[in-house]
């Protein structure tokens, strides 16, 4: 009987340990779709894009599962600060102001060709320089670096600023003639022009802070920062990130 009881106890401990070892943590990750090619809602209704596939690959490397939450970009940093989620990935630039509120991973993408800002506007427009923005309405996505840029520029070039939650909304306003120009980074501008042949782009010839690239944002003091930085190093070394760059950033 004692041997039988001991066997049952041993079996119970083994099952308990196996359950603990096989358990995978689930983390809530914020993103903001409508920012092609970083994050998109596909035809199947599921999130896809460079950031989405990158985060899925990183999560697999770290050994966690993701519960995606698609939100407005403007509320991402505040949501992390209030503890509504642990992590966010959405083409986020790790600016000094944001770093006061959240922690950042190492930069995972930093290409001047991709991150340089452009003006996007109607192909029928005669805009050829920043001076031509005088009297126009210029838009940017709420909460973005570009929103800060046009706010700074507006007094210099005498245009009105207009913000929306997504670039898609601004493009709709441009097509309807209610906004004249969108300011956005080159990769996104290229994707917009591919889907809107009636638009064109022009380099934003305006001096800004040096390019900071894109990084993953975390709640302050998050244990995941070091883990994801290690995973980033692995995915850089094995070519996974370059494969994603080749796939999404044509």
Q: Which fold has domain 112-203?
A: D-Maltodextrin-Binding Protein; domain 2 (3.40.190)
Cβ neighbours, 10 Å, residue 161:
16
What residues contact residue 91 under an 8 Å CB cut-off, 6+ apart? 35, 38, 39, 51, 185, 188, 214
Of 208, 202, 195, 207, which Cα lies nearest the Cα of 118? 202
Q: What is the pLDDT of residues 17-29, one digit of tens each?
A: 444 434 568 999 9
Q: What is the pLDDT of residues 120-160, one digit of tens each?
A: 999 999 999 999 999 999 999 999 999 999 999 999 999 99
Q: Do domains 23-110+212-248 and 112-203 have the same CATH topology?
A: yes
Structure tokens at 70: 């698609």
Which one of 3.50.30.30, 3.40.190.10, 3.40.640.10, 3.30.70.20 gives the CATH number of domain 23-110+212-248? 3.40.190.10
Strand partners, 11: none
Q: What is the pLDDT of residues 72-116, one digit of tens each?
A: 999 999 999 999 999 999 999 998 889 999 999 999 998 877 789
Q: What is the pLDDT of residues 32-77, one digit of tens each?
A: 998 999 999 988 999 999 999 999 999 999 999 999 999 999 999 9
Cβ neighbours, 10 Å, residue 245:
16
Determine if the pTM surpasses 0.85: no
Sheet holding 217-218, edge to edge: 64-70, 25-31, 87-88, 217-218, 103-104
Q: What is the pLDDT of residues 208-226, one digit of tens each?
A: 655 578 999 999 999 999 9
DSSP annotation of 110: -
Structure tokens at 206: 């305006």
Give the residue extent of every domain in the chain. Answer: 23-110+212-248, 112-203
Calpha distance 33→46 (Å, rounded): 10
Mapping DSSP to helix (H, G, I), strand (E, B) and coil, where does residue 69 land?
Answer: strand
Of 222, 203, 242, which Cα lies nearest the Cα of 102? 222
Structure tokens at 176: 């309807």
Q: For residue 109, count CB atoms less than 10 angstroms from its CB and return exposed for 0-12, middle for 13-18, buried for 19 or more.
A: buried
């Amino acid at each position: 009987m004692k041997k039988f009881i001991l066997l049952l106890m041993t079996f119970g401990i083994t099952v308990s340990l196996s359950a603990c070892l096989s358990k995978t943590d689930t983390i809530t990750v914020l993103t903001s779709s409508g920012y092609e090619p970083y994050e998109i809602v596909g035809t199947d209704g599921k999130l896809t894009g460079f950031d989405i596939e990158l985060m899925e690959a990183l999560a697999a490397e770290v050994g966690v599962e993701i519960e995606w939450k698609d939100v407005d970009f403007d509320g991402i940093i505040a949501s992390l600060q209030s503890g509504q989620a642990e992590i966010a990935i959405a083409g986020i630039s790790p600016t000094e102001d944001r770093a006061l509120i959240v922690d950042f991973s190492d930069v995972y993408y930093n290409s001047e060709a991709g991150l340089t800002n452009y003006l996007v506007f109607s192909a029928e427009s005669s805009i050829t320089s920043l001076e031509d923005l005088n009297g126009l309405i210029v838009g940017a996505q709420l909460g973005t670096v570009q929103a800060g840029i046009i706010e700074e520029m507006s007094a210099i070039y005498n245009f009105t600023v207009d913000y929306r939650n997504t670039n898609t909304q601004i493009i709709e306003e441009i097509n309807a003639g209610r906004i004249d120009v969108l300011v956005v980074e080159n990769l996104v501008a290229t994707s917009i022009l591919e889907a809107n042949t009636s638009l064109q782009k022009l380099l934003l010839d305006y001096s800004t802070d040096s390019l900071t690239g894109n990084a993953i944002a975390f709640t302050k003091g998050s244990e995941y920062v070091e883990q994801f930085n290690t995973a980033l190093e692995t995915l850089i070394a094995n070519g996974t990130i370059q494969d994603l760059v080749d796939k999404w950033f044509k």
